[in-house]
Every structure is written in C-alpha cells, then in structure tokens.
Structure 1
Amino acid sequence: MKELALAIDDVYTNKDIKSAIITGAGPKAFVAGADIAEFLTLSPDQGADLAKRGQVIFQRIEDCPKPIVAAVNGFALGGGCELAMACHFRVAADNAKFGQPEVNLGIIPGYGGTQRLTQLVGKGKALELIMTGDILPASDALSWGLVNHVTSAEELIPKTRAILEKIHAKAPLAIAKVVKCVNAALDKELDGYETEIKEFGKCFGTKDQQEGAEAFIQKRAANFTGE
C-alpha cells in the first residue's frame, strides 16, 4: 500500500506522466486481497485505522486529475475489487473475476467498497454481491456496469492504452475538470451543478480553450499544452 501511494504521488507530480494503468503482475490476479493472517491481530481501533489508511490512498486515485485506469487481469477480490473501483474506469480481461467476499471472514469491505460498488451498480446489486460474497465473472461485471469493456487477456493492455491515447489527445486541464465535476456528483458536501458552473467558467481562462476553439474553426487538430 505504501508503494502504491508513492506511485500515485508520482502520477500527480510528474509532468511527463499523462495517465496511469494499474494491473496485476501476472495473469492470475489483479489483486487477490489482503493478508488474512494479519486480521487475527487487529483490535477494533486498529481495524478502523487500517480502513482509514486504505481509503485515503484510494481517494487519491479517484481524485487524480490524470486518468488512472484499472486493467483487471484475473481475480479482483476484496481490496483488489475496491482498488479497481477507485480507478476512473475499468477494462477487464475475459478471465477477470470480481467480488467483495469479506462477509465470509466476519467483516465488511473497508476501503470504500460499500460506497463505490453502490455508486457503480446500484443498491440492490451491491447489497446482493456484498452480502452473498459471490464472485462475479467479467461478463456479468460488464452487464452490471462495473466495468466498461471486456476483452481477451492478450488485448487487455493494448485496449486500455488505446482508450488512454484518445484521452491524451484532449486538453489536460479539461480532463482534470471532468474528473472533479463527475466526482462532485457523488459528494454529499458539494453541489455538483455549481461545481460544473465554476469549472466550466475557469476553462475560458486557459490557452487550451483558445487552441481548441481556433483548431475547430480552422478545421485542424488541436495541439493542447495543458496551459
């Protein structure tokens, strides 16, 4: 988790990074979940601290002004499913499997799973998946709206890169504002419509807005600089 946090910090601060893909190291799993043996030693306060640390890291992913996409290649269970859901969207290999099986251990999701799964698939489906602990195959994850695309394992990264290449061609400041506004729609402390008004207005003080309008009028491709 510490290494993940450092990697996300690099996405935020490194100007050469336009986007990021989070994927598993091998074909078997995206992330199979936490070390269950660790749970035997935790007090209630330590359990809450563990959840808090995870939620802070995952919120950094969700709030990142640059696209972070989950390329799910195998099991995404427990914290792995929560990590995938914290990303801006998800592309899954056809062998991917999703689940929040925490109830089998006498606990619940702690890294935002109860909230993000509900946002993505709706209350009824979220309750069913979390309360049963069932494992959802990629095809069902697609029909439920949990993932955007399902592809072969071989095409998983190329497909994800192709989507990101489209996004790279757009205005970076506008992309960041899209993330902010869409997230505001789900934030009870914010008025999403008011956020959109403010961010829309801010676009008109950027060089990218001028470039985009001029390129459209001149019928040429825009050259955005992120300014």
Structure 2
Amino acid sequence: MALAAASRGLLHAGSRLGRREVVDGARRFANKRVLVETEDTSGIAVMKFKNPPVNSLSLEFLTEFVISLEKLENDKTFRGVILTSDLPGIFSAGLDLREMYGRNPAHYTEYWKAVQELWLRLYLSKLVLVSAINGASPAGGCLMALTCDYRIMADNPKYTIGLNESLLGIVAPFWLKDNFVNTIGHRAAERALQLGMLFPPAEALKLGVVDEVVPEDQIHSKVRSVMVKWLAVPDHSRQLTKSMMRKATADNLLKQREADIQNFVSFISRDSIQKSLHVYLEKLKQKRG
C-alpha cells in the first residue's frame, strides 16, 4: 500500500510528462531527463538516462524515471526493459548531492522517498531488466544496476562501478547494503562498502557486480541477445521466481520505510555531514571550473 500510494503521488506530480513521438518506426516518450524508446514488435523498451552533465539522480530525474517505468509496466506490450545512458562515458554518477545539501527537512524527506521508490520499483519490477552499463557507475548508478536481472558492462578501464558513499562521508542505506550482499556476498560487500571501492570492468566481473563485460561497441547488441534469452522463459514462472527471491529484501524496507526516511533526514541534517558535503561540492566546482 505504501508503494502504491507513493507511486500515485509521483504520477500526479508528473502528469504532464510523456509526450510521444515516432522516430524510425519506434515510439519515444519525449521526457526531459529520461528517453524511452519502444518497439512494440519486440516487447522490449530502452530507457536512456539524459540528465547532463553526469546523469545525477535529481528529484526531477527520479520522478520522471518512475513515471516512465510504470507506463511500461502498465502496457502489456512490453516484457523487458534495457537501462542505459544517453550521455557518453557516464552511466550515472549517482545521487544528486545538491538535493542533500543546504535544504530543509521537508525537502530531504521528499528526496529520500523518491530514492526509495526508485529502488523498490526497479527491484520488484515484473519486467525483465537488463542494464547496459556504458560508462562510470558509482553510488546511485550502481544502485540502479544492482536492481537489474542482468548487468552487462562496457570493457573500458576508465569506467568503474561500486558503492563509494563512505568516501563522501555518508552511508549506503541498509536496503541497498542488503541488495549488494545478495549480489557479491557478505565479506566482499563489507570490505567494499567500508572502503568505498569502485571496480573497473574486469574486477567487477570477477566479484559478480556485473554478469558480463564486452567490448564497448558491442554492448547494445549483446544486451539485446541476452534479453531475448530471458524473454524465452514464460513470464509467470520467471516473475514468481523473482518475487520469491527478492520479497524478503524488499519487505525489509517496506516495513521500515518511515523509520529509514527519519534516519536519513536526521543523518543528512547533521552539521558534520553538511560540512563534508560542502567540501566535496566545492571540490567538484573547482574541477569543473
């Protein structure tokens, strides 16, 4: 019920989104920050992140993304979704730190609800989700990839993936930690989370953070061939199996959702955390400037 109520709120907030256009026979939801390309005959949609400069998970991006995903879930034409980036060299740089710095508790509450909603919607989606990780994917970018049924990463040593929150002075939420542990095991996750480790493609593959690494120019053809394999399984049996495997982890958040929000707001509002975020944001300004 909490998930449904939050979704209705996001749909209301984004009711003006989703203007459609047709390009080369494919339909597109022409949103500002999330481009959705659909081909009805294949049953596959592609969601491309286009929130420059680094596809940060701003409140506006999170809202558009969840609305777009729900549209696809409600359209029985589609059975699978490919997540990828429309920006060269970056999958997603993760949470937008500007949403967590210098704001009021009401804003922090709204933002964290949207982050929770993103994870829940992706993690519990009945659709087959395959990520084509075609750029750097730290923190929240890794979050989105971890929710997918299958992850394929471009073989480029400049691209890394992982949960590096500790290096920024913040902590990955317990539900994302659980997702990470489920993926790579307790000891590997414990070490990676404490050290804020980011892994290049080969190491990410070895640890199980991603399922395949392929040459960059082959990633989109590979992700489609993998999707075909997953879609060959009857939906009802695959969906029931997915739910069985993921329900306990998702329920852990659903039962503690309000407490998790309160903990986040309390934590992010601390003077020491705000100072850490200020220092980091200033460093980013200097790099860009």
Unaligned runs of 5+ in 1: 190-227
* Higher strand residue share: 2
Report the count of equivalent residues.
189
- Which residue is equivalent to 1:200? none
Q: CA–CA distance in 2 between the matches of 1:148 and 1:60?
A: 21
- 1:48-127 aligned at under 5 Å gives the runs 49-95=110-156, 96-110=159-173, 112-127=175-190
Q: CA–CA distance in 2 between the matches of 1:90 and 1:44?
A: 35
Q: Is the 8 A contact 1:100 1:129 kept in 2?
A: yes
Provide TM-score, normalisation by structure 2: 0.60
Q: CA–CA distance in 1 between the matches of 2:72 and 2:198?
A: 31
**Offset of 1:106 from its aligned partner?**
1.5
Q: Is the 8 A contact 1:55 1:111 kept in 2?
A: no
- Which residue is equivalent to 1:183? 246
**Offset of 1:186 from its aligned partner?**
4.5
Is 2:81 the counterpart of 1:20? yes
Q: CA–CA distance in 1 between the matches of 2:101 and 2:239?
A: 41
- Which residue is equivalent to 2:213? 150
Percentage identity across paired residues of the two chains? 24
Unaligned runs of 5+ in 2: 1-61, 253-289
**Offset of 1:188 from its aligned partner?**
6.8
User: Bigger relative contact order, structure 1 or 2, given CA contacts below 8 A and separation 6+?
Assistant: 1
C-alpha spacing 1:123/1:46, structure 2 compared with 1 (3 Å): farther
The letter of the residue matching 1:53 is A
Q: CA–CA distance in 2 between the matches of 1:81 and 1:144?
A: 14
The letter of the residue matching 2:195 is T
C-alpha spacing 1:43/1:89, structure 2 compared with 1 (3 Å): farther
The letter of the residue matching 1:31 is S
The letter of the residue matching 1:83 is M
Q: Is the 8 A contact 2:89 2:134 kept in 1?
A: yes
Q: CA–CA distance in 2 between the matches of 1:3 and 1:146?
A: 26
**Offset of 1:182 from its aligned partner?**
2.0
Q: Is the 8 A contact 1:66 1:175 kept in 2?
A: no
For residues 78-137 of structure 1, the C-alpha deviation after alignment (integer angstroms, 9 at most, x for no partner) is 111111111222111112411222222221124943221111111221122122122111
Provide TM-score, normalisation by structure 1: 0.75
Q: CA–CA distance in 2 between the matches of 1:39 and 1:111?
A: 18
**Offset of 1:169 from its aligned partner?**
2.6
Please identify, of 49-58 and 17-26, the stretch whose mean Cα deviation from structure 2 is larger.
49-58
- Which residue is equivalent to 1:193? none
Q: Is the 8 A contact 1:52 1:111 kept in 2?
A: no
**Offset of 1:49 from its aligned partner?**
4.5
